[in-house]
Structures are given as structure tokens and as C-alpha cells.
Structure 1
Amino acid sequence: MFSDKDAFKEAFLKKLEMTCGKSFGESTEKDRYFALGQLVREHISTEWINTNERYRIDKEKQVYYLSIEFLLGRLLRQNLMNLGIENIVEEGLHDLGIDLKNLEEIEVDAGLGNGGLGRLAACFLDSLASLNLAGHGFGIRYKHGLFEQKIVDGYQVELPEQWLRNGHVWEVRKPDLAIEVPFWGHVESWKKENGSLAFRHLNAELITAVPYDMPVAGYQTDTINTLRLWSAEPAPYPVNKDILNYKRETEQVSEFLYPDDTHDEGKILRLKQQYFLVCASLKSIVQSYRRQHSSLREFHEYVSIHINDTHPVLAIPELMRILLDEEGMSWEEAWNITVNTISYTNHTTLAEALEKWPIRIFQPLLPRIYMIVYEINERFCQELWQEYEGDWTRIENMAIIAHGQVKMAHLAICGSHSVNGVAALHTEILKLREMNQFYQYYPDKFNNKTNGITHRRWLIKSNPLLTKLINDSIGNEWIREPEEIQKLLAYENNPAFLEQLSVIKKKNKERLSEVIRKQAGLQIDPSSIFDVQVKRLHAYKRQLLNILHVLYLYNQLKENSSFSMPPRTFIFGAKASPGYYYAKKIIKLINSVAAKVNNDPQTRDQLKVVFLENYRVSLAELVFPAADISEQISTATKEASGTGNMKFMMNGAITVGTLDGANIEIKEKAGDENIFIFGLTAEEVLKYERQGGYNSMEYYHHDNRISKVLTQLTNGFFPDTAGEFEAIASSLLMENDQYYVLRDFDAYAKIQHKAGLAYSDQQRWLKMSLRNIGTSGFFSSDRTIREYADDIWGIRSSHIKV
């Protein structure tokens, strides 16, 4: 790489002149960012080529991680850190009068994801490379991502993400490896000489998938894996097509993440995206495999394909199509290879999130794939009949195709050798409730892999002050072996260490306060409790419970002279899906409460509310180190795992949460006394759902706090919001409060009071914080990936050098 900062400076100045055609003095910060990015990527390329050559020589098994999202964040400093040249580059730039932090700000977050699903995929890629495991990602190169969020008069407004406006320095376009993906048309069949049927897809509309490769550098290793993103472009010679319309329809496939599927047009586009991803990826994987092997009969021994939730489930029939139609295998042999190649992670217990596609859309759009899915279903139902003869209800419930729909989760379970949940509770719910009949039939397929996060981004990169304190105290072995961070617990009763921990938290809070001042024009008190809930906006995540409690606190401050509380700043960050009307109303409510409390001279020194606009990875890196309280308040049984809870824990925030998802495992690791647990348990929620018995009106009529805040939603308490929050009030009262917000309100208010008292005892709080940091190593994605590698994928670390 660069032997010292002088060698770096020489290479950088030369690259700057070559890329922008200007002298150093004439160059802008944008010029310097792109020159630095290109220089680093070119240096990565040597090890990138060597890694691929090593995999070719080794013929080791490789895993390919298919995900509709990869929420990467900024990559400049992450790559410098992983390559081990961060200090050299920072010092060299400093000599030239350049601040690396300013160049970082030029980089735009890649618009390739939305929430935890995509961030998990990004963390996994980092861990795969850092552990010297042969693992690559496949996704879609969305031109405009999800959307850029603006808050206008308290409302969410969606604008296209322009993350590619100036190009993306980390990607390499490879048009020579483009792949054609077919849609529509019809299937022709004929009998071959041996009597078996052959199939051919005719008159298809072709879309070209062009790969853009990005290097994924491991942390100070010689391993550089690949994230391949597919861009949809028109095929060279479209048949019988209006060229302009065809171009527009084609480019839509990789334009936006999660197009609105309220209507058929959106459903078709989303299904197109999913097949576009898996068809291009599978063909690419097979082409790579063929360069080393003559036959696909051993494909599953050298290749593992992992599908991240149901979006890439069409990989199952697509691999079958390749093996049947292109390789001429028998159904039985093709099915054995497919099942042993593919593994599936489930990320939800919500029925509406388990994708189903209408046959009337699926069959004409993907005629050959539908035929294969139909045959999979027929054979699966015949198997079930052998096991459960006469139990038509069970077979109907488990069928892949039923009631005019193709059920993607059923296909995923049937066509893979491993089905994993992402937290201990989540996996048990899948086994005992959501997928119980499948678990009874396939008990050996189900397993748990609790999620993890890469500590390299969420601690080392995001919180350099804390990282230095840890390294100075226990050395840096924990970076390679994250669970070694538990050595910090020896400092639990060390006043000097705890004081340093306090100083670091204060500095991180001051850093975030300045960002909030610049973004929102709001002055907040860094000595107040930073109570933070940042995550995708969904009713089950219960941002509503949080903001109703804030409104209750405001009422108390206004009306109860004996009421006291430590100053608190409630910080929210969330995007609501553009078509999710209810979630967007909650964003408006949060901003309406913020306007009320922040402008009230009687309360604003005690209580502030901040809504962070356009929440994203680069902003999250400032939020997690600054948080005192981590809000993880989903309705029990609804959050599969959560990963934000782990990021907060690793940075010393204390969880206020329900016994849901990975909160349970955080409680086990940190200890009961170092977490604030409240609310309904999973068993209580399941009992309500099975037997009924919940009446939200009772809580409205018998709890004055609740009746007051709900009345304030609709009585004009918030200026210029007539009718604005009727839907929220109606959901809680007339629709019986699906996520038990009112049922948990009292318990939430009590636990928040308890947390406030604990914060007032700073020595106790700092010990709680240290206990969370010191037990967070388990939640590193390195541990998670080792479990996947050993238990599911069957891959091992490669250390051979070319």
C-alpha cells in the first residue's frame, strides 16, 4: 500500500492531477475526495484480484448472500481503517492542509437500503471479509434508493435520493459480464428422444442486468470480497417494442427500493425486481463455478446461496430451471442440489410481511418459473399427503400455492436445507407458532442465529474516543476477538476509568448537539438525558407509545407543581414507507409535540423533542455514541431481533425495552440490573391474540393520563391539525389498539421514571453503562458469521496467499 505518509502524498497529488486536470491549489474538496477514493480503490484492486485468484486455486466453498438491501453507509474511512492506512492518510492529508473529516462529508450514503435488514447484510459482508471467509453479496444498484426524507411543516416529504449524481467512486462497472433476464412471453415444451420433456422460453421481454462490483475489504487482512450490484438497462435489440416506453419500463426495475405495491403496476415492478436480482445473480454464480468445474452435479459442495428474507426466494425455482433446462438433470437430482445449496433467514413474525404473490400476476410475468413452482408445490403436497393422509386443512395451510397466491415463505422453507430465526425468542415463535406445522414436518431445518453488528463500524469508527479508552485499558485484542471486551468489567469500581467514560459520553453528546443545532436550529442541553428511538417507522415498533409518554410528561410539567424530572431530550429518527399512511401520521404527531414543547418557555429547559430528518447510516454513527437511553419498545413477539439495540449497548446506552427480540439476550448478557424491562411478555401477547380479552377502552376510561393525551390528539390542542390525528385515536380506541400501546402505557411511564432516577445517580449509571459495553462482544457479527459458516454454509477461513 503506502509505506509512509510521504509516499502517500506523492501518489495522492499525482492522482489528483490525473483525475481532475487541475493543480492542487485549484482543486476543490470534491476533487480531492474523488481522487483519494480512486487512489484507495486502485490500491485495493491488487488484493482484490489476489483474493479471487486464491479462491480459484483453493476451490474452497464460497457463500453468496442475496439481499434486496445493503445499507452500507459511507465507505471512505471504513476502507482506510480496514486497509490499515488510516493514520498514514490522515497525517499525509494534514500536511497538505486537508482535513480528512471534510472529505468524508463529501461522500453520500449509498441509497441501497432502508432499515435493519440492509444494515445486517452490510455488517455480514464486513465480517465475512474480516474473518477471511469466501463470502460475497448480490443486490440491486438502485438509482434513487428508498427516498430522501424532508420534514415540511411536520410532514414527511419524499424526494429521490440522488446518491449517484456525481458517480460512486467505489464501484467498477463490468458491462462485459452483463446478463439478460427474461420476462413475459410463453413456454414451449417438447419431448426429447429419451422421453423427458424439454422447455424453452419464447418471445420474452429481455432486460439487461449490468454488474457494478464493489470491493469489501476485511479488517487488516489480505481478503477483499465482492459486493455485486445489478443495474437494469435495455437489451440491445428489443423485439416489437416502443423504444422509449421499453427503456423507461426497464430502468424502473433498478430505480427505487420497494416501489409502492398497493396496485398491480407496483406489484409487477416489485416481482420484477426480485426475479431480476436472483436470475442475474444465479447466472453469474454458475458462470463463475463453471470456470473451475466441468459439471454442476457437485454445485452444492462448492457453493452456498443464502437468501436474506423472502425477497430472493425465487433463487429456488431459478436454480431448478438452470439444472433442469440447461443441464438436463432429472427433477430428483436437481432438487437435491437446490435444497442443499440454498439456506434462508426469516426476519419477521408479522403475517403481512410474509410475501404472497397473486397467480394472475406471477404466472404471465414469469411463465417458466411459475411452472417450476407449481411442480414443487404438487410434489410437496403429495409428500404431505403421505405423512398426513386425509388432513386436508394441514395440507392447505402448508401448500406453496393456495387460494390464488404463491406463498414465498412456504417456498423458502420447502426449498432450502436451513431456516433460521435471528434471535432466540424469534426462532421459538417461528417453531411453535408462525411456522409450527413446517417445524413439525422439517424439525432439523430450523435453527437460531442471533443477529450481530460489526463493531468495526459501530464502535471503532463511530466512537473513536471510547475505542481509545478501551485500547488503553485492555489492549486491542478485542478488535479481533470481540468477546475479549469483557476485560473492561475489571474497571467497574475504578473511579478514574468511570470518569473518563463520563467525559467521552459528554463529548459525543456535544458533537450530536451541534449537528442538531445546524440541522434543526434547535439548541439542546448536552447534560440532559438523551433518550433515543431511531429505527424504521412502524406501528409495532411503537414510536407512538414513546411520543404519547412525552406528551404526558409535558402535561405533568405544565399542571403538577410537585412533579420533577431530570432534563430530557427525546430524539427520534425514522422513515415511514411512502404508502404507509398511519406511520406518516405518527411522524406528524412527533413533530407537532416537538413544536409544542420546544417553544413553551415553561417546559423547554426540562423537555425537548427532536426529529432527525433523513435518518441514515452516517447520521446513526453520531447518534449511537451520544445516547444515554436506548428505546427498544416494540410489542413483545413482533420484533424479530433488532440490531439498533446492540449498537446502543456497545456504545454504553441503557436499554428501556420489552422482552422482545434480542432484548432478551441483551438482558441475559448485561444482567437484570443493567436494563429497564417493562410491559407485556410474549406469552401474555400470544394469550391475548389466541383468546381475546383486551379492551383498550377500559384503559381510556380508567387512566386519566391516557384519556387526557388521547383527547389532546383531537380537541385542537395542537394548532392547525384539525382531523390530523383522528386515525391514530381511532386505531387505539375504535380498532382496539392492535399493538397494546395503552395496555403498556402505565408500565412504560413507571420504568421511564425509574430510569430517570437511576440517571440521577451518575456513579451507578456509569457502572451500568460499562456493564453494557463490556458484555456487548457477543453481539458482534463476527460471532454470528462464524455460526453461519460452521452450522449452515460449511465454509472455512482461507489463508493461502498467491
Structure 2
Amino acid sequence: MTTKATKSKKSPAKKTATAPDGGKAFRFDVGDSKESMKTSILNHLRYTLARHEENATQDEWWTATCYAVRDRLLDRFMKTQAVHHKQKVRRAYYLSLEYLMGRLLINNLHNAGLFEQTRDALTELGQDFNEVADEEADMGLGNGGLGRLAACFLDSLATLDLPAVGYGIHYEFGLFRQKFRDGYQVELPDNWMDKGCPWEVMRPNFAQEVKLYGRVEHQMDDKGVFKPKWVDTKTVEGVPFDISIVGYGGETVNFLRLWGARSSDEFDLDTFNQGGYTEAVHEKAFSETITKVLYPNDSTESGKELRLVQQYFFVSCSLRDIIRRFEANHSDWSEFADYNALQLNDTHPAIAIPELMRLLIDEYALEWDAAWEITRGVCNYTNHTLLPEALEKWSVPLFEKVLPRHLEIIYEINSRFLQGEVEAKWPGDDAKKSELSIIEEGNPKMVRMAYLSVVGSTKVNGVAALHTELLKKNLFATFHELYPNKLINMTNGITPRRWLLACNPGLSELITKEVGDGWPKHLDELQAISKLADNAAFQKKFMDIKRANKQAFADFVLEDSGTEISPDAIFDVQIKRLHEYKRQHLNLLHILTLYRRLLNDPDYEMNPRVFIFGAKAAPGYALAKNIIRAINKVAEKVNNDSRINGKIKIVFPQNYRITMAEKMIPAADLSEQISTAGKEASGTGNMKLALNGALTIGTLDGANVEIGEEVGDENIFIFGNTVEQVEAIKSKGYNPYDYYNSNWELKAVIDWLRSDYFTPGEHDAFAPLCSSLLEGGDPFLCLADYADYVRVQEDVDKAFSDKKRWAKMAIMNTARVGKFSSDRTIGQYAEQIWHLKPVQVEA
């Protein structure tokens, strides 16, 4: 948004104190009243930003407001940390490469109980609250579900008064800013901090040094004991930036600590003075590259190296910080596991296992067995994928180059594991040793980070009931035999504070009127509105709110792209990372089917439908980018074809992000959760959409299974092959041509896509997509599920025509998804994995 100078509409009421010179002095006030907020905002405009309210721009009002709110959060943060320090609490440490935080202002205001007074304060200062809030950029710290889950978990940890710290990377640029040019995805830098980040506090006094590269010397100490030494290393400094995480309705404020890289030897003045300007800042440039960009493209060797360096950098800084905190109160290493629990969010932080071993053995002189008992005692691992190709592996040569000492430790862990635990379970079985080895034989050899995570952790969890069972049955089947009690389930959840209270104020207000104001912290209380699902008056109120949300999104789309959509149409929403297994291309085949039916039968009956997509494709994922272009080019034709009378519209806004999701989700009627059964670990978009009254059309995959169990078969649309059927189809030898040749509609739409109809004069524009479905073997069974998908979509259309039935189904979805609060998930982590107790912080 372009900022402009805005003038206050009235003179603000200011709290001041008389200075000795008779002038006006600054008054610091962190009270919660409206007048206190006004004073703080004006103080920050004047004394932090050096601006007068008469000519401050909108983004300066936003910055001043954030600082005013941050003052109050920091006041609670200081109290929280003082209580935790005094009580020497056990803490959970959440290590994640991603935190998809979105905007923080409105969420922080709701959680801290400051929303109304801050809104009213800005209004009295002549500012439009919503316009000020819209100045905030989404924090560029995450990509998709992994990062959004981490953000929800931080919210719930604070809400449940659990002592916890999140650790991650302070990326200068986020994933990328997405633009479309001629339908193609174009990636631009996401400079999310161009206005600064008023929420963070830099902590240079807690900086940590990290070593990289070098070699290992094998030495003997003065007692004749073998002591490997890591030498000739490069040193990088990690500087922490803290962001306060406030719990809902309480006093607990935890924090997210993000590490930014800088050189420990920033500038060579002699070289500079001799004219070597580039060489003088070489080390600085190398160091700062580490935290420059979220997920650098790893299609090159240098990209892979940077990713490994990123992961080690943030893990090493975090572990040193955890140890620093431990040493402040303790001196006995046998107590370390009593006070610390580490959660590895996917395999990205898996290097924590050998790094903690290295620190304990090399820097604190512990014996191997003692170090291993501590390491395994504190580490726990969350698996987020069932795709074997998505399980992280690093080549041994790369590992040896970047982290030679850690490679030695991994080999030692592996050797002891195979010769000890595996040999004890399966004596003399070399095949089992090869199967379970952390080192995968090949050219080159690879380090299996998922296997390292399983071996080095106390607990390993899946993120949905089906996912966990498939882990036990397939991906980690032999590990499950070896460790029958290690694999457990923690079904994912979402925070209702952001994903209902903040993003859907109309529905939140209606719910509060019916069930009271306790539901944002106790989501099961939504069950009470199920008794109103048949009530005509309540249905009208519920669906009027839905329509208002749809109108608001339609207004956004018109302003954003010039496309006009009707709020009376079905809003059919698929928002998630663009990936073959999530099957946005199956959705596209259905759109083409409807489009073709309308063109061939002008009287074809269907409710008008708006297909809404939100997705980014990884820069190096060519097929996913081809799918994006196909959707965009089909949209160009469909949206401008007068023959179909506007019955189909396709909307694909650029640069999908949390802020956009907060507009789409309250407006959605239908939630597309159509991944191939057995491929999606859980999903959390399915939970957000259902909570806001969208009906799910989905396969029996991930958390769809549990959503169906909660809302009831009559309130969800299930289609497609099950996990068992998918396995049976593939075991018999799946041939997509069998489906292509036997279904004339399917054949027609694929052939249509293969032509140049949607890209005149440009033949084979979508050859990669069509080839993946046919010659490429259709690995995710789009063609096998197509007919049933189209059939169930017809059931959706019929249900939508029955307004009373649809309203009841929507209400039942909102009422029955209380299970999917991240508070429930985190409560289970705290009880079953971390053994963590709540700690009350008094106001």
C-alpha cells in the first residue's frame, strides 16, 4: 500500500508532566486504558519516530501503534521471565526453520486484551484503524503448513502458560514475492522488513559464535586420551532478535528468538586502504548470506551447501543459548534433561543431535555414554511427510566439507546404534543393519536425517492419526519394531484466536452471543451452537455473515485484479503450496469439465461457482509452475467467455500469504482437500476452513479422516480411492491410459488442454502437465480419482441448492471442530512428550 500523509481529525488528549524548565516532559505509561494507549502512540510518534501527528504518514502511525503495544508486551514479558528464572522451570524449546507468523498487530491486540481500546484510541486520534493495520507486512519467516503450525504452537504455548522458547532464523528476505506474467509465476525478493520490524528486540549481548568448515585433527591429550580437534574453521556470529509471544487472556509472554548472521571479523581496513574494496568485505558478505533468504534454491551444489549451513547455524546458536541459560542456574550435567525438552520440527533441525553431542564431548568433556543419554533424553522429532523423496538427505562429501567433526560423530552414532541396538534385536542380520543405517550406501553416500532424528530422539510423532499409522506401517516400520513405544500421534491444530476471532469478527461476535466469551481458549464450547443448526433465525444470521465475508472478498478481488465475482456463487477454495500430490491439476480438470459442459449445453444446470486458488510453487519446481500457468491461462478464457453467462469464474490472486488467507477463509463455502490418499501428513488449512463454516470436499487423507469423524459423514464430501485402494492400484501396475481411454469427458478435457486453445499460437504450452498425467504415469492418481471427484462435486452443487441444508452443514462444521485447536495439540505435547507443567504469572 502506498502511504500518504494523513492529518488527525481532532486534537488528541495527551497525558503530560511538567518538566523543571516548564516544558512538556515524556510520560511513560503501560496502562491498558484507551487514554493510556493514545498517550503511548503519540509519545512514540514524537520520541521514537521524531514525527508530529499532524504530518505523520499511515505507516508511521502503524509503527508507533506497534511500539505502544510492544511496550505492554515487554512489561509482561519481563514479569514472565522473572517468574520462570526464579522458579528454575523446565522449558520446551521449539526448533523450526520456519515460522509463518503473518501480521502481528491485530493478533497481539486480541491476545493481550487491548483490541477495543487501541482501535478506539486510533479512531479518536483521527486514524482509520483498519487502514493503519493494513500497513503491516507479513513476516517473511515461513513458507507453508510447517511454518504456520509453528506459529500456532507458539500462540498455544503462551496461552497455556507453558514455559517455552521458539528458535529460528531472522531471514532478511522471505520465500519470494509472487507475480504473474502471461500466466507464469515470477519470483521477486520479499523484503518484508523494508519498514523495519517494531516487534523485535535485538540482543547483541546474547550473540553466539558458530564454527564452519575446517578439518579434524586427531590428537592425544596430556593424559593419553584420544581427543579429536576441529581446526582451521571459519567463524560466524549469530545475533538474536526476540519477538514477544503473548498468550490469550493471560499474563504469560514467551518469546521467539531468531538468529541473524554477521561476520565475526567484519572489515579488513588494510585491504580496503590498498584499494581492495570487494575483498575487504568478503567475510562480511559470506556471513550475512547465511540468513539472507528463506529456502535458497537447492538445485545447485552451492544452494545445497547454503541450506546445510543455514540449518547448522541456527541450531548451533540455539543450543549454545540453551546451555548458557542452563549454566546460569545449574552445574550438574545430569540435570540437563530435567530442565530442557527440545522439539525438532521436521528434519531441518536434526543436526541438533550431533551438535549437542559435539558440545558435550568436545567443549564440556563429557564421556560418550553420558552425552548420548543427555542428547537422546532431551530431543524429540516431529515428522511431517510420508513422501520418501521429501525426507532430507545430505551427501557425505558435502557434510565432510561443511561439518567434518559432525560427520565423525554421526558415523560413531551409527556404528554404536547398528552394533548395539540393531544387533541385539536382529543378531547377524546385515540386511536389517543396511536398512536402518543412518548412512545410506551409494555414490555418493548420504546421511539420512530422518533416521538420525529417530535414533537420537526420545519420542517421534506423526501429525494425524492416519499419518502416524502409515509411519508405523511403511516409512518407519522397522524402527517401530525396534522402538515399539517411540512413535506416537499428535494430531495438528490451529489457533482459534487468529483463525476465527481475529480473521472473522462477524462470526466471532455471533458465537460469543450464543456461547459466551470463553470459546477462544476452550474451543470445544462451540459444540453449543450445534443445537441451533436447524434454527431458521440462527441459520440466517450465520449465512448473512458468510455472505458479507464473500462480498468483502469479492471487493478485494475486483480491486486486486479487476475480476468481478458474485457473492451468491459457490466460493470453491483451494489454498496450499503448489505440489503434484495436493492435486491442484485435478481441480483444474474439473473446471474444464464444467466449462466444456456449459459450452456444449447452454441449459446445463449448475450453481454459479467461483474457483479460488492461492499457491506458490518452489522456484525450481518446473511442473508445479506449469500447473500455475495452466490455471491462469484457463482463467483468462473462462472469465471472459460471455457464452457461459458468468457461471464459472477463476480467481488466482498473486502472492498468496497469511494476510490473504485471512480474507479467503471466512469467505469460503467449499474447502478443497483433495490430495492423493496416503500423501498428506495432516493439513491445517482443512481445519481453518471448517472452523469458519466451509464444507470439505476431500479424500480420506491426513486430518480429513478425523475432521469427518468429528463433523459426521453427512457434513463432509468424501471421494476417491482410499490408502488401501491406492496401494492395490499401484501394486497391480497403474496405467493412466486405461482411465483416459474409457472416460470420454476426461479424454476430451486433457486433449483440450494439450491444444493451443488456451494459448493461441503457442502449441504444447501445457505439455509438461499433460505428459505427467499420461506418459509420466500420473504418479498421484488424478485420472483414477477423476470420475468420483466429478460425481461428488455434483453432490456439492445439489447440496448448495438446498439453502437450509447447506446452512445446517456449515454450522455443524464450525460447531464440531473444537478438537482441532492447537491448544489441545500442545497440551498433549506437554503431557506426553515434554512433561511440562503450566507456570502462572500474576498480573
**Residue type at the aligned position of 2:198:** V
Alignment match of 2:73 (pick from 44, 57, 60) = 44
Aligned pairs for 1:70-219 (under 5 A) are: 70-219=99-248
Aligned pairs for 1:330-341 (under 5 A) are: 330-341=367-378
Are positions 1:358 and 2:387 aligned together? Answer: no
Tell me if structure 1 keeps the 8 A contact 2:602–2:644.
Answer: no
Tell me if structure 2 keeps the 8 A contact 1:61–1:795.
Answer: yes
Aligned pairs for 1:451-466 (under 5 A) are: 451-466=492-507
Aligned to 2:800: 759
**Residue type at the aligned position of 1:778:** K
Aligned-partner SS, 1:164: coil
Aligned pairs for 1:691-706 (under 5 A) are: 691-706=731-746
| Counterpart-to-counterpart distance in 2, 1:611 and 1:56 | 49
Of 493-502 and 558-567, deviating more is 558-567
Cα deviation 1:551-606 (Å, max 9, x = unaligned): 11000000024421000000001000000000000000000110010000011410
Alignment match of 1:306 (pick from 343, 346, 351) = 343
Tell me if structure 1 keeps the 8 A contact 2:80–2:841.
Answer: no
Residue 685 of structure 1, CA deviation:
1.2
Cα deviation 1:654-690 (Å, max 9, x = unaligned): 000000000000000000000000001011112234x
| Counterpart-to-counterpart distance in 2, 1:41 and 1:214 | 9
Tell me if structure 2 keeps the 8 A contact 1:206–1:238.
Answer: no
Are positions 1:322 and 2:363 aligned together? Answer: no
Aligned-partner SS, 2:652: strand
Residue 10 of structure 1, CA deviation:
2.3
Are positions 1:295 and 2:335 aligned together? Answer: no
Aligned to 2:286: 249
Tell me if structure 1 keeps the 8 A contact 2:759–2:765.
Answer: no
Residue 693 of structure 1, CA deviation:
2.7
Cα deviation 1:27-84 (Å, max 9, x = unaligned): 1111111111111112211111111111111112100000000000000111111111
Structure 2: runs of 5+ lacking an equivalent: 1-29, 272-277
**Residue type at the aligned position of 1:319:** L
| Counterpart-to-counterpart distance in 1, 2:362 and 2:312 | 17
Residue 195 of structure 1, CA deviation:
4.4
Residue 238 of structure 1, CA deviation:
8.4
Alignment match of 2:777 (pick from 736, 742, 747) = 736
Cα deviation 1:689-737 (Å, max 9, x = unaligned): 4x23321001111111111111112221112442211111111111210
| Counterpart-to-counterpart distance in 2, 1:42 and 1:571 | 39
RMSD, matched Cα: 1.4
Tell me if structure 1 keeps the 8 A contact 2:202–2:239.
Answer: yes
Of 224-233 and 293-302, deviating more is 293-302
| Counterpart-to-counterpart distance in 1, 2:703 and 2:72 | 39
Residue 448 of structure 1, CA deviation:
0.2
Cα deviation 1:757-793 (Å, max 9, x = unaligned): 0000010001001110001110000000000000000
> Cα distance 1:90–1:257, how it changes in 2: closer, same or farther (>3 A)?
same
Tell me if structure 1 keeps the 8 A contact 2:677–2:701.
Answer: yes
Aligned pairs for 1:295-694 (under 5 A) are: 295-383=332-420, 384-403=422-441, 404-689=445-730, 691-694=731-734
% same residue: 45
Are positions 1:279 and 2:316 aligned together? Answer: yes
Alignment match of 1:19 (pick from 48, 51, 54) = 48
| Counterpart-to-counterpart distance in 2, 1:107 and 1:604 | 39
Residue 173 of structure 1, CA deviation:
0.9
Of 248-257 and 304-313, deviating more is 248-257
**Residue type at the aligned position of 1:207:** V
Tell me if structure 1 keeps the 8 A contact 2:678–2:701.
Answer: yes
**Residue type at the aligned position of 2:648:** L
| Counterpart-to-counterpart distance in 2, 1:575 and 1:324 | 43
Tell me if structure 2 keeps the 8 A contact 1:67–1:311.
Answer: yes
| Counterpart-to-counterpart distance in 2, 1:81 and 1:800 | 19
Residue 143 of structure 1, CA deviation:
0.8
Residue 8 of structure 1, CA deviation:
2.1
| Counterpart-to-counterpart distance in 1, 2:225 and 2:792 | 67
Of 89-98 and 737-746, deviating more is 89-98
| Counterpart-to-counterpart distance in 1, 2:266 and 2:527 | 61
Tell me if structure 1 keeps the 8 A contact 2:37–2:68.
Answer: no
**Residue type at the aligned position of 2:758:** F
| Counterpart-to-counterpart distance in 1, 2:151 and 2:634 | 35
| Counterpart-to-counterpart distance in 2, 1:722 and 1:285 | 58
Aligned to 1:61: 90
Number of equivalences? 801
Cα deviation 1:267-315 (Å, max 9, x = unaligned): 1011001101110110011101111111222111100010000000000
Tell me if structure 2 keeps the 8 A contact 1:2–1:85.
Answer: no
| Counterpart-to-counterpart distance in 1, 2:185 and 2:34 | 46
| Counterpart-to-counterpart distance in 2, 1:705 and 1:191 | 75
Aligned pairs for 1:255-274 (under 5 A) are: 255-274=292-311
Tell me if structure 1 keeps the 8 A contact 2:41–2:67.
Answer: no
Residue 7 of structure 1, CA deviation:
2.5
Structure 1: runs of 5+ lacking an equivalent: none
Tell me if structure 1 keeps the 8 A contact 2:265–2:284.
Answer: no
Q: TM-score, normalised by structure 1?
A: 0.98
| Counterpart-to-counterpart distance in 2, 1:800 and 1:293 | 23
Of 678-687 and 787-796, deviating more is 678-687
Cα deviation 1:133-172 (Å, max 9, x = unaligned): 0111100111111000001111100000011112111001
Aligned-partner SS, 2:209: strand
**Residue type at the aligned position of 1:362:** F
Of 292-301 and 276-285, deviating more is 292-301
Residue 22 of structure 1, CA deviation:
2.5
Alignment match of 1:30 (pick from 29, 51, 59) = 59
| Counterpart-to-counterpart distance in 2, 1:776 and 1:3 | 33
Cα deviation 1:372-411 (Å, max 9, x = unaligned): 1110011111021232123222211110012111000000
Tell me if structure 2 keeps the 8 A contact 1:60–1:795.
Answer: no
Of 178-187 and 752-761, deviating more is 178-187
**Residue type at the aligned position of 2:111:** N
| Counterpart-to-counterpart distance in 2, 1:146 and 1:396 | 37
**Residue type at the aligned position of 1:458:** W
Tell me if structure 2 keeps the 8 A contact 1:72–1:122.
Answer: yes
Deviant stretches of 4+, over 3 Å: 192-196, 237-245
**Residue type at the aligned position of 2:174:** G
